[in-house]
Amino acid sequence: MVAAATAVDGGAKVIVLEKMAMIGGNTARSEGNMSAMDPEPEKLLPMTPAVRDIVKKYTDQKPCTKEVAQLQQTVKDQLKAHNAAGKKYIFDSPELFALQTLEGGDCHNDPKLVLTMTRNATAAMEWLEKQSDMKWYHVPRYWVDVGIGGIYPRGQWPRHADGKTPISTYDAYISPLADKVTKAGGHIYTQMKVMQIVRGKDGRVTGVIAVDKNGKNQAFNGKNVILAAGGYGANLKMVKKYNNINVIATSNQPGTTGEVLEEAVKVGAGLTGMKWIQIHPHGNPKNGELESAIAGRPSDTPYVNVNGDRFVDETGRRDDISHGILAQPGQVVYAIFDQKTIDQKKVRDDLMQIALGHGYAYKADNLNDLAKAAGINQAEFAKTMAAYNEASRTQNTKSLPVPKILIGMPVDKASFYCVPITTTIHHTMGGLRINEKTQVLDTKGHVIPGLYAAGKITGGIHGGNRLGRNALTDLLVFGHIAGMQVSPKP
Ligand SMILES: Cc1cc2nc3c(=O)[nH]c(=O)nc-3n(C[C@H](O)[C@H](O)[C@H](O)COP(=O)(O)OP(=O)(O)OC[C@H]3O[C@@H](n4cnc5c(N)ncnc54)[C@H](O)[C@@H]3O)c2cc1C
């Protein structure tokens, strides 16, 4: 929808084909949180020693490629200049963002695509804000947290016009763009499933064939085709084809089945990184749905196993946390936080009430009763929480049995909450090969004329492990580029 709205702005005639009864896909299902550098960085909170440690972790680790080595040096120079200028607020830059995305993805990503994303992230965020009266809540202006697997305080949350009230992701990311497309004379078809991509003898893609809700084939011709059909996380057969992962639940909407990607391969498209599939640590153990909205903020929330022990740095990478969970007894662990998290609106009270009503969370007046309700070993849990809270108060986590790079508030104010979590198939990082202009490349790296792709259907941006919040940055940046590419007046 980002590509379609951008294209109509550029004077293109647009048709959007959606196979489900409703538009929005996983984007509408998501929390809507994206990563971008703050447009007014001087408003950010002061840079704490822990945030400095995070930067150092990425600038000082052994570089996995020469591009990463260059970025490490650039970031060191930028940080030095930031300090020399007496700037006290949290340091950030497109290069730090790129460095973390590359190292977080174990350098299986394409550095050119990554830098395209990070250098255009803030502009893309501002572009979306202009499409309706939504406003961004720039989280690091209010508290320091990394989000689940986001590894740096760079989170941007969509809000209503007052800048505070939560807005549905559909209303922030989908409906204003869909309205723009239809108002400009574009057509949005639902229950119209793309079955085939048509490529002419001259090598140019000229359209697609779709099947409508009555089972009738419909041909759509166009000067250009943009593929934005998402990933394949809800297609277990395809997941197993590329990665024999031992998780079957998924957070994805049921239409995330990857057939458009497979059709693109039939017309010559190349693939990259297909074996990289992210399992998310915030799966609901009963149904695989994502619990991130109620599982607390990672810096404030210790995760313990059924024995009452912490086992991982909650502010680290998603793959480390998920594989940590898989190594725990029963492969279910517990996110623990207190009333401050609710009072400070880091977790919405209305969502927590729903979760409690469904039996997806526990609440108690003290930590001992909380452990009892959740079936966690009470004696060990008491020891773990005492040490954790002491580390939080002294901001010294090095003596913890499992250190934590960024520790937030102690868990010490009634009521207390516990959310059981496990792993769930979340993000298929591999997909179609594209270049920085979102043109789809064939298996030899040549452009397929007339064919573009953006979002989760593409590969190369997130490497072996997608950072939290980077998917929406990806689709905003590359969706926008794709829309401009096909516009008569970009
Ligand atoms: C529960 C959840 C929470 C998330 N939260 C966040 C978050 O806060 N921040 C973040 O960065 N990322 C988040 N993500 C990831 C992010 O939402 C997705 O990676 C992103 O929305 C993918 O966007 P997309 O446009 O590529 O695909 P989608 O938004 O899934 O859109 C693809 C559309 O194509 C349609 N389609 C598929 N096949 C066909 C076909 N054959 N014919 C016609 N239409 C077809 C699908 O039905 C779908 O509507 C979350 C994901 C989930 C599941």
Look at the block and give the residue holding tokens 């998310």. 280
Residues 167 and 348: their CA atoms lie apart, in Å, by 12
Going from the Cα of 231 to the center of ligand 1, the distance in angstroms, rounded, reads 7
Kindly list the distances between the CA atom of residue 412 and the CA atoms of 1, 227, 310, in Å, as whole numbers in the listed order.
Answer: 44, 49, 17
Distances (CA, A) of 132 to 137, 165, 176, 329, 473: 15, 15, 6, 47, 18
Question: Does residue 112 share a domain with residue 10?
Answer: no
The answer as to whether 420 is a domain residue is yes
C-alpha angle with apex 272: 23 to 75, nearest 5 degrees? Answer: 95
Choose among 243, 186, 261: nearest CA to 7.
186
Per-residue pLDDT, 398: 86
Please indicate, yes or no, if residue 199 is contained in any of the structural domains. yes
**Over the stretch 54-88, which tens digit does the pLDDT of each residue have?**
999 999 999 999 999 999 999 999 999 999 999 99
pLDDT tens for residues 348-377?
999 999 999 999 999 999 999 999 999 999
| Residue 162 in domain | no
Question: Around 270, how many Cα atoms within 13 Å sit in the side-chain half-sphere?
Answer: 16
Residue 341, domain member (yes or no): yes
Q: 114 and 48, same structural domain?
A: yes
pLDDT at 88: 98
Structure-block tokens of residue 286 = 């009963």
**Co-location of 40 and 11 in the same domain:** no
The answer for residues whose C-beta is within 8 angstroms of residue 365's C-beta and 6 or more apart is 414, 415, 416
Domain membership of residue 446 (yes or no) is: yes
Which of residues 102, 126, 155 is at a domain's end?
155
Query: Does 475 sit in the ligand 1 pocket, CB within 6 Å?
Result: yes
Same domain, 193 and 254: yes
- What is the predicted pLDDT for the residue at 490? 58
Q: How far is CA 229 from CA 109, 257, 471, in A?
A: 21, 9, 14
- Which residue range is the domain that position 111 belongs to? 34-155
- The amino acid that residue 439 corresponds to is Q
3-state helix, strand, coil in the chain (%, to 5): 40, 20, 45
Taking CA atoms only, the protein residue closest to ligand 1 atom 17 is 27
Q: Residues 91, 95, 98, 100: what is their CA dihedral angle, to the nearest 10 degrees? A: -40
Q: Out of 99, 128, 155, pick the residue that ends a domain.
A: 155
Q: Is the CB of 474 under 6 A from ligand 1?
A: no
In this predicted structure, what is the pLDDT of residue 244? 87
Question: Is the same domain home to 292 and 406?
Answer: yes
192 pLDDT more than 70:
yes
320: domain CATH number is 3.90.700.10
Query: Do 187 and 101 share a structural domain?
Result: no
DSSP letters, 424-489, are EEEEE--EE-B-TT-EEEBTTS-EEEEEEE-GGGB-SSSTTSPPTTHHHHHHHHHHHHHHHHT-S-
**Count of domains for the chain:** 3
Model confidence over 385-426: pLDDT tens digits?
999 999 999 999 988 999 999 999 999 999 999 999 999 999
List, in sequence order, every residue forming a beta bridge with 207; answer none if it has no partner.
Answer: 198, 221
Give the bridge partners for 278, in sequence order. 427
CB of 230 within 6 A of ligand 1: the answer is yes
70 and 188 share one domain: no
Is the CB of residue 38 below 6 angstroms from any atom belonging to ligand 1? no
How many whole angstroms from 377 Cα to the centroid of ligand 1?
Answer: 39
- Is the beta carbon of 33 within 6 A of some atom in ligand 1? yes
Q: Which of 155, 187, 222 is the last residue of a domain?
A: 155
Say whether 85 sits in a helix, a strand or coil.
coil
Same domain, 313 and 417: yes
- Same-domain status, 127 and 108: yes
Task: Indicate if 266 and 342 belong to the same structural domain.
Answer: no
311 with 251, same domain?
no
Q: How far apart are CA 181 and CA 175, in angstroms?
A: 10
Please report where in the chains the tokens 């950030």 appear, as a residue: 92
Does residue 259 have its Cβ closer than 6 Å to ligand 1? yes
| Model pLDDT, residue 399 | 87
DSSP 155: E
**C-beta atoms surrounding 45 within 10 Å:** 16
ipTM of the complex: 0.99
Q: What is the pLDDT of residues 438-474, one digit of tens each?
A: 999 999 999 999 999 999 999 999 999 999 999 999 9
Which residue of 16, 26, 213 sits with most ligand 1 atoms within 8 Å of its CB, as the best mutation to test the pocket? 26
Ligand 1 pocket member 30 (CB < 6 A): yes
In a domain, 161, yes or no: no
Ligand 1 centroid from CA 25, angstroms: 5
Lowest-pLDDT range of 211-215, 241-245, 263-267, 306-310: 241-245
Angle at the Cα of 117 from the Cα atoms of 114 and 123, rounded to 5 degrees: 160
For residue 265, give the nearest of 26, 102, 430, 76 by alpha carbon.
430
Q: Is 160 part of any domain?
A: no
Question: Does residue 455's CB lie within 6 angstroms of at least one atom of ligand 1?
Answer: yes
The pLDDT value given to residue 453: 98
Q: Is the CB of 262 under 6 A from ligand 1?
A: no
> Considering only CA atoms, which residue is closest to atom 37 of ligand 1?
229
> Does the structure show a pLDDT above 80 at 183?
yes
pLDDT per residue as tens digits for the range 260-306 = 999 999 999 999 999 999 999 999 999 999 999 999 999 999 999 99
What's 212's domain CATH number?
A: 3.50.50.60
Q: Report percent pLDDT > 90 for the chain.
A: 98
Rounded to 5°, the CA angle 481-484-488 comes to 160
**Mean per-residue pLDDT, 120-124:** 98
**Token pair belonging to 315:** 């502010």
User: With a 6 A CB cut-off, is 411 part of the ligand 1 pocket?
Assistant: no
* Closest C-alpha among 411, 391, 415 to residue 403: 391
Mutate to test the pocket of ligand 1, among 1, 2, 16, 27 (most ligand atoms within 8 A of CB): 27
For residues 391 and 205, give the distance between their C-alpha atoms in angstroms, rounded to a whole number: 59
Question: Span 236-240, mean pLDDT?
Answer: 95
| Cα-based torsion angle of the residue sequence 242, 253, 312, 328 in order, rounded to the nearest 10 degrees | -80
**DSSP secondary structure code for residue 45 in this structure:** P
Distance 27 CA to ligand 1 centre (A): 4
Q: Which two tokens stand for residue 300?
A: 């404030």
Beta bridge partners of 210: 194, 218
Q: Is residue 404 part of a domain?
A: yes
